[in-house]
Structure 1
Amino acid sequence: MSPVLSRPPRRPAVLLGSVALLVVTAALSLAVGAKPMSLAEVWSGLVDPQAPAYTVVREMRLPRTLLGLEVGAALGLAGGVMQALTRNPLADPGLLGINAGASAAVVTGISVLGIGSLSGYVWFAFLGAAAVSVLVWAVGGGRTATPGRLALAGAAVNAVLYAYVSAVQLLDTASLDAMRFWTVGSLAATGASATLFIAPFIAVGLIAVAVLARPLNALALGDESARALGARPAVVRAGSIVAITLLCGAATAACGPIVFVGLLVPHLVRPLTGPDMRWLLVVSAFVAPVVLLGADVLGRVLARPGEVQVGIVTAVAGGAFFVWAVRRTRAVAV
C-alpha cells in the first residue's frame, strides 16, 4: 500500500477546515430565523442584556444552536461507530433498532404515563435503547454475534417497534399532538435546559468512543486479526453498543428521532481522512453538527416566517443520499 493511501496527508487541514465550517454554521444558526439578523446584532444580543436582540439570541437561538452541536456530534459519532461495528457502509444508528427502541419507550411514556418533560423523556429513551440493545445483542448471537446477524436482528426489531409507535399514535388521540411533534424531530422541541441535561450522557458516550477508536481499527481487519493485535472483539462490540445507546438515547430524548445524519456524515468524512477511526470519528464530531445545524437553518428559510422541522429536512436530504449510496455501492447488507 502506498504511503498516500495509508496515510492521507490532508488530515490536519481537514480537521481545521471542519472546525472553521462549524463556526460559520453556528453563526448562521444564531443569525437566521423568522427575523434575520446581522452579525453585529447577533454579537450585541450575546453580550448586551439591554440589546433588542438579547431575548431572541440568548434565550431562543443560542440554546437551540448548542443543542444542535451536542446532538449532531452524538449522531455523527454513533453513525461512525455503527458502520465500523457492522462493517456495513450503509449502516446508521437506526440499523440496530436503537433509535426505534428509544422512540417506542418515549411514546409509551407519553401515552400511558402522561410524561411531558425532557427529564422524563430521557430515562424512557435510555430504557428503550438499552432494552433493544440487549435484545438485538442476544438475538444476534451474544458473544458470538457477527455484523450480519446484528444487522438482521436490528432490522427486524426496528420494523416491529416503529409499527408499534405508529399504532400508539393512531389509537391515542389525546396524546397525538405531543407525540407527533416529538417524533418528527426538532431542535426547538425543548427548552434551554435540554443542553445541560443531556450533556453528561453524551460526555460519557464521547469518552467510550475515544477508548474504542483504536480497537475498532483492529476489528475492521476481522476477528482473528483483531485478536492477534490484542483486541477482544466481543468486548469491543459490547462497548460500542453501550456508546451508541448513550449517544442515541440522549439525542433522541432531547430532539426526537433524527434520521440519516449518522449515515451521511461518515461517508462525507471517510474520503478525506481515510479509514482510520481515530481521525474519522474526530472529524465526524465536527462535521455532523454542521450537517444538522445546516438542515435546521434551511428549514427556517424554506417556510419563513414559520419553519420546517429539522427531522423532515434531514429525512428528505438523507433519503436522496441513501439512494445515491445504494446505487454507488451496488450492494446493501440487509
Structure 2
Amino acid sequence: MAEKSDDARDPTGAGVGQQQDRRSKRFRFKSKNNDQDRTDTESKRKRRKDEDTSNRHTKRRRSSRQRQSEERFRPDRLSPDRAFRESLFDALGDDEGATFWEGIYGQPIHNYPNTYEDPETGELERMTDEEYAQFVRRKMWEKSWEGLEAAKEEKRREREKERQRIRDEEKIRAANSQAQHDSYTFDAQIDASLRRGENRKDRKRWQSLWQDYLRRWQELRDLAETRQRSTEDAEQVFLRNKIAWPVESGKRKDVVRDNIERFIKKGTAAFRDDEQMGDPFSTAVKAERVRWHPDKIQQRYGFLEIDENTLKGVTAVFQSLDAIWNDIRNKAG
C-alpha cells in the first residue's frame, strides 16, 4: 500500500516530485540588485512625466498669452500706436509679458525711464502715458537697423553740410577778398586819376604864373626900349607898378628865399621836357640872378621912379638868388 501511495500521480499525470520542481521554478524571490534597478527606472519615468507635464503647461500658457495678445492687438481692433502702447504697458506689468514682447520686437521694451528733466526748472517731470509710449517707440526705433542706418545717414548729411558750409565760407571769403582787391584797385585808380588831374591843374597854374612873370618882365624891357627911343616927355611911371616879383603871390611882402626858390623851381618844372638836357632850375636861377642885380636894375630902369622900399626889395631878391646859386655850385662841386 505504501508503494502505491508513493507512486500515486496527480490528475495531469505528473508525479508529486515533478510538481514541486515546477513550483520552485515559477516562484523566485528577486535579489537586492533587481529591486534597486526597478526603483531607478520608476524614478526616471516619473521625472520624464513631470517634465512633460511642465512643458505642456508652459506651452499652454505661452500659447494662451500669444492667442490673447494676437486677439487684443489685431489690426482691425487697434491702431498701430494704440497696439504699441498696450504691448508696452503689458510688458511693464510682469516679467513674462516683458519676455514675450521682447521676443516680438526683438529688443527690450520696458527698460526706459518715464521721467525727464524740465529745461526751465531743472526738476524731474513724469511723462504722460502717450508721451512715454512715443518716447519708448522712438528709442526702440533708434536701436533698430533702420534707426541705425538713419543715424548714419544723418551724420553723413551733417558732415556733407559742414563741408558745404566750409566751401561756401571759402567762396564768400574769396569773393570778399576779390571785391576788396577790386575796390582797392578801383580806389587806387581813382586816387591816381585824381592826383594826375590835380598835378595837371597845378602844372597849368604854375605854367601860367611863370609865363605871366616872364611876360611882365618882357613888357618892362619893351617899355624901357620905347622910352629910350622917344624924345617926348612921358608921364612918370613908378617901377613898383611894373616890376614882377618872383613869388607865387607876386607881392613885395612875400619876397623871402624859400618863396623865391619854390617859385622858380615850380615854374621851370612846369615847362620841363623829359628829353630836355640839363637842369632848368639852375639855368633859371643863373639868369634871374643877373636880372635882379641892383646896379643893372637902376641902369636899365632908372627912367622910372624907384622908391626906397622897391629898391630894398630888389636887393633882397638878388641876395636870395645869389645864395641859391652858390648852393647849386657847391653841390655841383
Q: TM-score, normalised by structure 2?
A: 0.19
Q: TM-score, normalised by structure 1?
A: 0.19
Q: Which has the higher contact order (CA 8 A, sep 6+)?
A: 1
